Every structure is written in C-alpha cells, then in structure tokens.
Structure 1
Amino acid sequence: MLELLGQHTDVSQFFNLFNYITFRTGGAMFTAMIFAFAFGGPFIVWLRKKQGKGQPIREDGPQGHLLTKKGTPTMGGLIILIPLTVSSLLWSDLENPYVWAVLIVTLGFGAIGFVDDFAKVTKQHHGGLSARLRLFFEFTIALVACVAMLAAEWVATTPNGPHDIMGFVNALMAGQSITAVALPFLDGWGLQLWAGYILFTMFVITGFGNAVNLTDGLDGLAIVPVMIAGGTFGVICYLVGRVDYSLYLGIPHVAGVGELSTILGALLGASLGFLWYNAPPARVFMGDTGSLALGGLLGAVAVATKHEIVLAIVGGLFVLETLSVMLQVAVFKRTGKRVFLMAPIHHHFEKLGWQEPTIVIRFWIISVIFALAGLATLKLR
C-alpha cells in the first residue's frame, strides 16, 4: 500500500504524508479503532451464542465473581488482534523486518491463548493448556522473533560485511553492540551478554506475555495499562529509530525500529475499541487470547528498541502483579502461610473489601506513574 501511494507524490503533495511515520501511526490508530468498534458488538453476540456458559469462573476466587462475571464470554482479545493486524498491514512498511517479528510474536502468542481459551470453554474448567506446553510454544516463538530482530540489526550495522550465517554467529560470540543490554541512566550501551542475549530476550518476551496474562483479572484492569505502556513505547520507538534524537538523548539507535510506532498506534486504536466493551461491567473478557498476545507484543517491541530494562519500569504494574504471585507461591511452599489474602495482588484488595472499580482505577493511576518514570530514564543520563 505504501509503495503504491508513494508513486503518486508527483501528482499531489498529499501522498507525501504517507512517508511520515507519525502520519501513518495516526492512520493506523484511527483505522484499528473504527474496525474494533464496528466489529466488537456483533462478535460478542456471536461469542455468546457459541460459548453458552462463557468463561469458567474460579470457585476459589472472590465470591462476587461467581455472580457478576458468570456467563461472560471470553476470547475477546480477537476484537483487538484482528483490527490491530489488519491496520498494521495497511499502514506499516511491510519490508521492515521488525514489523514482521513483532507480528509473529503477537499472533503466535494470540494463537496459544486462543487454544487455551477454547480448551477452558469446551471443558468448562479454568485449566487450559498445560504450563509446560504453553511455555514451550512461547519460548519457540520468542526465539524465532529474537533471532530475526538480531539478524536485522546486524545487517543494518554491518552494511559492508559478510551477511551469512557464520558471520552472524561470529557477531553473537564477539560481543558486538547487538548483544548488549542498554541500562537506564547510562549513555549508549551497557551490559554485554554475548550469545546469552538471545536467551535473555526470550525471557523478556515470554515473561511479559505471562505478566499481562496474570494482570487480566478484573474488568478493564489489564487493557488500560497495556495502552499506557504501548503509547509510551510508541514514543520510545520513534526516538530510538532516529539518529538525531537518539544521539541527543544518549540512547541506543536502532535503524528501522521507528516503524514499530505504527503497530503501537494500531494497538492503541484497537484497545480503545475493546475497552468500550470491556469497561465495567464487562460484556466480554479478552482472555488469554488477548493478554498473552499484548504482553508478547510489548516484550518484542522492548527487545527491538533495546529497552528491555525500561519495559520493567514502564510496565511496573505487570511486574508487581507477577512478583506477588511468585512471592505467594514461594512463601506458601516454604512455610504453609500466605503473604496475601489471594494472588495476584488485585485479588488481595478485593478480599480486603475494595470495590472493583476502585482497584482498577487506582491501578491505572499507578501505571501512569510507572510510564512517566520510564520516560524520565530517557533524559536522565
């Protein structure tokens, strides 16, 4: 689409707008939003007919959920993923390898989540795919995407070098800039991991996919923090992709990664459309279909921009939710006692008597604070 429109710049300067990432990001956001709004309503009606009892509700969870959330359909993440994918294909530069790497992670994780949701609905049990099987597929997809992004960066940084498999392997073992982790508050490249960088990035993508999945427990709780993190990384992508801004800020420059802003624009638009239906009381849950895919998307973008550590700050809410589960399990196995009334931590506040909208809105505020802190790391160097 972009090549076709770009051929008409001699006819009108209007077509020159399609050469600007900022314009196409706005176009992607608007397209995905309209698509999600139009697609969401009829799709939810169809889901209700097909799923019958909807998503099974955990009996050991907050008792109010058995009354307020029973019968609500799941797999609503498709209301995000389908508009996001269509809009990204329309507005992104499809010759950019980072675009395809991020879409592979997003759709691959979405497919895993879809299978998991389908198993839950079919069996009417909250247990879907086994944890080992899920992790195997997630790590496999993350491996493919990470290698693809590293190869794209290696080609861009060695324009006159040999572009063969052995040359790429030697670059990984030699400890070049492509295998270094950028650290906040420090100029340029930080910690060198050599070939271990691939394993690190696989954990980032898989870990963040599951972190968003754990957070998705209340109406609107996960989707708004995803939008906040997505918007923040849209800015980061644009800055990292430009030589002048990255040099001024002292952050790593990755050629071509600015194109990911269009995907994040599509994410914002599609998420707004989904939030219309997911706002309390939710008419549909995003399910693992959405939460795994969106978390994986954010993780893949962080890897592409070399801002994996900043993702832990910007997505601090997801990190806290995950740590609450890890701490709960570790302490319970060791002592038989619980740190929280229930994990993840948003259920702890429910058990304390907080109303669901209060928890959700306060967690949104926390997400904004984390996002601002993450952006501050770009200049404090």
Structure 2
Amino acid sequence: MIFLINQYLNIKMFALISCRIIFSLLTSFFINLFVGPYIISYFKKFQTFQIIRTEGPTGHFKKNNTPTMGGVFIVISIFFSTFFYCDLNNTYIWYVLFILIGYGVIGLLDDYKKIKFQNSVGLKILYKFLGLSIIAILLLYIMYAHQENSIAIEIIIPFYKAISFKINYLYIFLSYLVIVGSSNGVNLTDGLDGLAIMPVIFLSFGFGLIAFFSSDINICNNINISYSEKSNELSVLCASIVGSGLGFLWFNTYPAKIFMGDVGSLSLGGALGIISILLHQELLLLLMGGIFVIETMSVILQVIYFKMRKKRIFKMAPIHHHYEIKGLSEPLITIRFWIISFILLLIGVISLRIHDVI
C-alpha cells in the first residue's frame, strides 16, 4: 500500500526496497509484541488451551493450561506488514498470501475442533490433507493455467547449477508436494517451546536474501540464483515473516505462554513452500529446512518400520520426543535444533556459489 501511494508522493525512503524490508520486519515484530498479551489473555479467558496427547511425554501435561492458536496473530501481522510495504501489483505477493491465509484457515478449523471436543485429533487426516491439497492445486492452476508450453522453468541444484526445462505435469506435481510437504513438516516440528519458529525465521531470512538479489541479472549470472524482476519483492514479505516470528518467539520461548497451533505451523510451512517455488529454490528448501525434513522422515520411518516389523526405531516420533524420553531437557533439545538449523542456513548460503568453482 505504501509502495503504491509513494508512486504519487515520491518519497525516496519508501522507494528503496532495503528500507521497506526493515520497516516490514519491525512492523510485524511490534504488532506481535503489542497484540500478543491481549490475545493470550483473551484465549485464557475462553480456555482455548493446548490439548496434550495422552501418549505423549509425561512432562507435557503441565502445558494443559497454555493457550494455543497463537498462529492467528502471526498470520495477521504478516498480512498487515505485507499489505503496507509490498508492491500489491506483484502477483507473487498474492500467491504467498493465498497460501498463508488458506492454510491458516484449515489450521484454525483443526485447532478449534481439538478444543471443542477436548481431544488431540482435530480434523480427520483425510479432510485436512484434502483441504491442503485443494488450496495448493487451485493456486498452482492459477499460476500455470495461462502459461504457454514454450515457457521454461529453472530449478536450482545447490553446489551445481541451474537446469532449465519446460513446464510439465511432473513439475506441477512436484510443486504441489513442496507446498503440502513443507506445511506438514513445520506442523510436525512444532512440538516443543520455540522449536519450529526459529528454523522458520532462519529459512525466511535465507529466502529473503535470495529474493533481494534475484532482480539483479549481473549477480544472478555469477551465483546460483534465478533471475526474475518480480522475485525481489518477496524479500519484503520474507522480512515480515522474520519479524513476526521474532515477535511470536518473545512469548513462545521456554516456558511458552502460547503455542502457534496448526493455524501457525500449516500457514508458515505452506508460505515457505510457495516462496521456494517462486524463487526456483525447491532443493534449497530441503537443505536449509533440514530440521523439518528430519522431523518428517522420523515419523515416516517410524510408521513404516512399525508396520513391517512391529517394532519402533525411535522411542517416540517426531524425533524431538525421542530425545525428550531419553532424558534431555526441552530447552536443550530446542537450542541444539536451532544450532543445526543455523548451520544448514549457512551451508545453503554457501551453496549459492560462483558457477565456475566446481
């Protein structure tokens, strides 16, 4: 909004994308910092407390009186910050907001059902998966329906190079898997205080950095970034995610005063998925978001192995619960996962290397 208004006002500060990035980050941060206490009090008043799984670690039962659905003010702060500081004529911004809000609504319904019926089931897995799939497929249809077969797509291979190929059904299917998979990856990781939000912040920072340089063709020719005139506006949106995440972490760090719930984890994961597609960095998502991959794979392996051998690989999945049961404290597990996530971010940045290095 400010970007569009500034076309008439011509204020140099708002014309600079670097300034809008900073403003976007700070705005979403302070929105969360301001509204957080009110939302926490409101949720406590109406007893929207986290429903703890009966088969989960016993130490989690003390969290029964902690409010959930904190993802509501994450989504709100990201939306308003993006609305104020991004170029609303840029379709990439609306693609991300479409997933953010759509997946947020599904997560909200899931959280509401858990609270209403006082169990940890929420929406049936089939219905949740169907809802996530419909939204992802609808968005991909909007994105690619009017594209011609001659339009090429680039996929960036970390530490190697970009490979171009034409849009086809396989790529659309892989894009669908990226969106749905990343949303579920963040959802599975969101099991300890502050565990999921910091990797989201790191990943958003990494994608924001890539988006910032993506409209400079000289830089893109020297490193593994796909050139696009539209992509750099995503850096402002990524900054709003970083600011919102930091604002939420203010209340979510151990011991958490509020949890993000599915409304936060599904929306943030889906948003990161579509951002990676727009930047053609789907493989980098797997690298820098390695914590989410590890958590997801631990669940998949546990289920497959149990069905085949009637035995468990881990004491409990996702893997952060395995370490809890082994006796590691919650803050220790969380901080070590943060460290791993930060290292993966650095490796991801290094992978954007000069083409001739290897």
State the TM-score, normalized to the length of structure 2: 0.95
Q: CA deviation at 1:283?
A: 0.7
1:269-310 CA-partner distances (Å, limit 9, x unpaired): 111111111111111100000000010111010000000000
Verify the 8 A CA contact 1:204 1:308 in the aligned structure 2: yes
1:288 aligned residue: 262
Task: Please name the residue that 1:75 is paired with.
Answer: 69
Residue in 2 that maps onto 1:108? 102
Letter in 1 for 2:85: W
Pairs aligned (count): 354
For residues 183-220 of structure 1, the C-alpha deviation after alignment (integer angstroms, 9 at most, x for no partner) is: 22233325666232111101101100000000000000
Q: 2:152 aligns with which of 177, 181, 188?
A: 177
- Residue by residue, what CA displacement relative to the aligned partner does 1:147-202 show, whole Å, maximum 9, x if unpaired? 44446xxxxxxxxxxxxx4xx2x41xx5x422x43222233325666232111101
Mapping for residues 139-218 of structure 1, pairs under 5 Å? 139-150=133-144, 165=146, 168=147, 170-171=148-149, 176-178=151-153, 180-189=154-163, 194-218=168-192
User: Could you tell me whether the CA contact under 8 Å between 2:152 and 2:167 is conserved in 1?
Assistant: no
* Counterpart residue identity of residue 145, structure 1: L
Structure 2 equivalent of residue 159 of structure 1? none
Letter aligned with residue 292 of structure 1: L
Instruction: Say if 2:8 is the partner of 1:7.
Output: yes
Give the Cα separation in 2 of the matches to 1:240 and 1:8.
Answer: 27
1:260 aligns with 2:260: no
SS state of the match for residue 46, structure 2? helix
Q: How large is the Cα RMSD of the aligned pairs? A: 1.5
> Shift in Å at residue 375 of structure 1?
1.0
2:22 to 8, 22, 26: 26
Aligned-partner residue type, residue 177 of structure 1: A
Runs of 4+ in 1 over 3 A off after TM superposition: 147-151, 190-193
TM-score by length of 1: 0.90
Counterpart for residue 301 of structure 1: 275
Q: Which residue of 2 aligns with 1:161?
A: none
Question: 2:116 matched to 1:122?
Answer: yes
SS in structure 2 of the partner of residue 64 of structure 1: helix
Instruction: Work out whether residues 6 and 16 of structure 1, in 8 Å CA contact, stay in contact via their aligned partners in 2.
Output: no
1:59 to 54, 76, 84: 54
Q: Which secondary structure does the structure 2 equivalent of 1:266 belong to? A: helix
Q: Which residue of 2 aligns with 1:134?
A: 128
- The equivalent of 1:35 in structure 2 is 31
Change (3 A) 1:250 1:46: closer
Taking the aligned partners of 1:250 and 1:77, their CA distance within structure 2 comes to 33
Offset at residue 32 of structure 1 (A): 0.8
84, 87, 91: which one pairs with 1:90?
84
Of 207-216 and 129-138, deviating more is 129-138
Q: 2:220 aligns with which of 246, 253, 256?
A: 246
Cα distance in 1, alignment partners of residues 353 and 142 from structure 2? 29
Q: In structure 2, what is the Cα distance between the partners aligned to 1:229 and 1:361? A: 16
In structure 2, runs of 5+ residues without a counterpart are: none
Mapped to 2, the partners of 1:300 and 1:43 lie a distance apart of 28
